[in-house]
Amino acid sequence: MRCMKISTALLTVPVCVLALACETDTATEESLVAPPGPSFKHEGAPALCAVSADVVQKVKGHRIVVTGTDGNDNIGCAGASLPVHISTGKGNDFILGSQFDDEIKSGKDCDFINALGGNDHVDLGPGDDSQAVCQAAGIGNGGARGGNGNDVVKGGPGDDELSGSAGSDLCEGGKGADVYLGGCTTCSDPDQDCTL
Ligand SMILES: [Ca+2]
Ligand SMILES: [Ca+2]
Ligand SMILES: [Ca+2]
């Protein structure tokens, strides 16, 4: 197999002569022409999330499905190479999304979610999820952050703390005494806790 490269002013293109396949450093070639911003193209096994014991994660299509336990889960997907779909059930859960478009839902008890970059859908579910409540209980952080991107950030029927962060974000606290930290461009709250 004979391969050679033809260089232009913009990029280098591998050309194969009398060969069925041509082995090149495709990662390098793609990195030269890839557009900036999040992209979940990858070769080989995708990078998964860092998770605590008994949390299950599976690659399904172009996303990672992460299922927490009814205990306290720690799920960090900042280094994941695919969007994530996370659900955590009961327990005090600490969750960081990926840099892509994620769906994240936590359950009862004190949860903290930061969806990071991408256009994310975040739902704190039932329970009181706010910094004040969680810190008073000795748990630490609580609440939801949309992160960069255009996000939907939802609370549940408890006292929640919501932040849209950067981007055009929709925040919905649901019932309960909810705290809106800012970054929400649109908000909806049955108790009128949100004042934009
Ligand atoms: Ca849990
Ligand atoms: Ca994200
Ligand atoms: Ca609420």
pLDDT tens profile 53-101: 999 999 999 999 999 999 999 999 999 999 999 999 999 999 999 999 9
Q: For residue 154, which ligand has an atom nearest its CA?
A: 3
Residue 24 pLDDT > 60: no
Say whether 17 sits in a helix, a strand or coil: strand
- Non-local (6+) Cβ contacts of 174 within 8 A are 154, 155, 156, 157, 158, 160, 189, 190
Angstrom distance (rounded) from CA 105 to CA 122: 6
Residue 28 pLDDT > 50: no
Ligand 2 centre to CA of 113 (Å) is 10
Residue 20 pLDDT > 80: no
Neighbours of 175 (CB within 10 A): 15
Ligand 2 centre to CA of 99 (Å) is 4
Ligand 3 centre to CA of 11 (Å) is 52
- Write down the pLDDT at residue 34: 43
Ligand 2 centre to CA of 148 (Å) is 8
Q: pTM of this prediction? A: 0.79
Of 17, 26, 78, the residue nearest 48 (C-alpha): 78
Q: For residue 71, which ligand has an atom nearest its CA?
A: 1
Ligand 1 centre to CA of 108 (Å) is 8
Ligand 3 centre to CA of 144 (Å) is 11
Residue 136, phi then psi, degrees to nearest 5: -65, -30
